[in-house]
């Protein structure tokens, strides 16, 4: 069985609580609560695999981590 994944952005249009950053399925518009899997792509990037429970569509999002500034 082969799989095809689409990479989508996790940039939210507004900066309200975390729930606004959770994706919806681009096929059926069902809400997604948790990613199926995640992986570090680099020191500052994480990718997430999402699969819709409603229609089965799968896609990948990437999230850039903010660098922490340490003050001494």
Q: Report whether pLDDT(12) > 60.
A: no
- Could you tell me if residue 10 is left (phi over 0), alpha (psi between -120 and 50 degrees) or otherwise beta? alpha
Residue 5 lies in a domain: no
| Structural domain includes residue 55 | yes
Q: Is residue 30 part of a domain?
A: yes
Report if residue 72 sits inside a domain.
no
Per-residue buried b or exposed e for 43-66, using 16+ beta carbons within 10 Å of the residue's own CB: eeebbbebbbeeeeeebebebeee
Q: Judge whether 52 lies within some domain.
A: yes
4 lies in a domain?
Answer: no
**Considering the domain boundaries, does residue 38 fall inside one?**
yes
Domain span at residue 30 reads 21-64
Mean pLDDT on 3-25: 61
User: Full-prediction pTM beyond 0.85?
Assistant: no
In a domain, 59, yes or no: yes
Q: At 11, is the pLDDT very low, low, confident or very high (cuts 50, 70, 90)?
A: low
The total domain count for the chain is 1
Query: Which pair of structure tokens corresponds to residue 44?
Result: 């500052």
């Amino acid at each position: 069985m082969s799989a095809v994944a689409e990479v989508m952005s996790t940039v939210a249009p507004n900066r309200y609580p975390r729930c606004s950053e959770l994706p919806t399925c681009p096929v059926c518009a069902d809400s997604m609560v948790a990613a199926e899997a995640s992986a570090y792509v680099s020191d500052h990037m994480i990718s997430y695999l999402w699969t819709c429970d409603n229609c089965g569509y799968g896609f990948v999002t990437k999230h850039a981590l903010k660098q922490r500034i340490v003050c001494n």
